[in-house]
Structure 1
């Protein structure tokens, strides 16, 4: 593993199964916490939440998942199992002890599958706008087409914030932070084809069996106008009656970008109540 300082956090890089993985290590002492961003995202999306958790007594790490950010852009394997294996490898490499797994969207799905396949690994699970889902044929292609339709390169940060935020500046700022300057403009740090392949399994089936296998305490945080509907949440509770959950008013899918302070308070309250 290699490391370099970046001010408030340290960038750490490791190679797992031939794939370069990068993470932001925010340091801190106390319970370990691992943050997982969503599809086409980056570890910097947690820059507002991570120091709140660290200053509240957590050791905090945010991973750039394979295919994203500073990690390998074109990994051959983008299966759900590969994403899970990366989490397990990072936990072992950094010596994290039963971390709290927090994931948004596809990162939450990765956290869910990790908790199901490795029940002794996490202390608890926090799903932000994420769940077992359902088979959605064509969804990978639809999202791939959306990513390929971005008007690239963005000529300025302001143009990127306006387009990617779609009326929500905090969301636009979070997405714009994931861009890189090159070739006369701002470009994403991912390949749309890789993103599309990363979603293929989610389009083919649901993951309710895996959800039912999760044994650690869980918290589900939903956006008022997010992607997890009432039926999916009700089934999550039916299968896991001990699930804690709430919806944050005035938010959408990017709860962690819209209300990082509120989300941090909700997570810390869950940790206290569950005596984790």
Structure 2
């Protein structure tokens, strides 16, 4: 275990290693002030890493323990081999909970992490005490004429393109993300630390840690099958927070009232809430979005504000 003091304003955390199929998974832990406090297990998006939850950790303020793994094929878990896919991540999460959490956990995920959280709940129904999905977990209709690889590239945009790019130094990588419309208005030490965790290699050929095949398999996996059906088979009620705007800060987000209606969610099992003023990223890494997510997690954990 290592103790890490990240960039200014980012809460200090521990980095642990948990044995899973094929090797060890890296897990970030922000411990609660009370060792008996509830545990939140938080899953990141398709090209992200555990530090995407740092600003949420800030607002949780040690009232719960937050576990945020680097999923298989990303960041410090980038060297874990396949098979990839959402089911593999779900089983990895069961291993993390068994090793690091003494009982049921509040399970949450952002984007692909939300799909993973939903499938984890289905495959391991004794694991979650509550389930919070953040701008993900519900499959929406996609153009039938696009091949799966074309669809993934169209939806993920620059996040996907960067996987085959190299950067001469960390400043160049930072500049790449600062130009991204989804992050431009919410840049902070939290975001900087999160995107820097993704880099591997040596200057002048730094690159993303994300395994391209992991991203491809995981992305296609979300389009149908047991992953798409998980939201309809949940063993417990869930809440979905959805961003008003999209990945490129465009007015059309991943979800809207019509798309959610088309998904035919059971309103008694999945409660939905639009989060105004957020896009797909700032609902998690922006200050207002992270505060709302943290407050919801505390409510799900049964922790009252001081």
- TM bucket (normalised to shorter chain) is 0.7 to 0.9
Among candidates 250, 256, 279, match of residue 252 of structure 1: 279
Return the TM-score normalized by structure 2: 0.78
Name the CA shift for 1:45/1:179 in 2 (closer, same or farther; >3 Å).
same
Give the deviation of 1:110 after TM superposition: 0.4
Structure 1 gap ranges (5+): none
State whether structure 2 residue 229 is matched by structure 1 residue 217.
Answer: no
Greater length-normalized contact order (CA 8 Å, ≥ 6 residues apart): 2
Which of these residues, 106, 109, 113, is aligned with residue 119 of structure 2? 113
CA RMSD of aligned residues (A): 2.8
Equivalent residue, structure 2, for 1:193? 213
Match in the other structure for 2:161: 149
Secondary structure of the 2:132 match is: strand
Q: Aligned to 2:53, which of 26, 46, 54?
A: 46
Q: CA deviation at 1:113?
A: 0.5
Match of 1:183 in 2: 203
Closer/same/farther in 2, CA of residues 26 and 73 from structure 1, 3 Å limit: same
Name the CA distance, whole Å, in 2 between partners of 1:242 and 1:80: 22
Asked if the contact 1:134/1:206 (under 8 Å) is kept, the reply is no
- Kindly indicate whether the alpha-carbon contact (under 8 Å) linking 1:26 and 1:51 is maintained by their aligned counterparts in 2: no
Please, what TM-score do these two structures have when normalized by structure 1?
0.85
Pair 246,162 (structure 1): closer, same or farther in 2 beyond 3 Å: farther
Indicate conservation of the 8 Å contact 1:154/1:185, yes or no.
Answer: yes
Q: Deviations over 1:176-207 (max 9, x none)?
A: 44324623254211122321122222234474
Structure 2 partner of 1:5: 3
Work out whether residues 106 and 130 of structure 1, in 8 Å CA contact, stay in contact via their aligned partners in 2. Answer: yes
Identify if the C-alpha distance between structure 1 residues 75 and 4 changes in structure 2 by more than 3 Å, giving closer, same or farther.
Answer: same
1:4-43 correspondence runs (5 A): 4-7=2-5, 8-28=12-32, 29=34, 30-43=37-50
Distance 1:180 1:16 in 2: 22
8 Å contact kept, 1:33–1:61: yes
Aligned partner of 2:250 in structure 1 is none
1:271: how far off?
Answer: 4.4
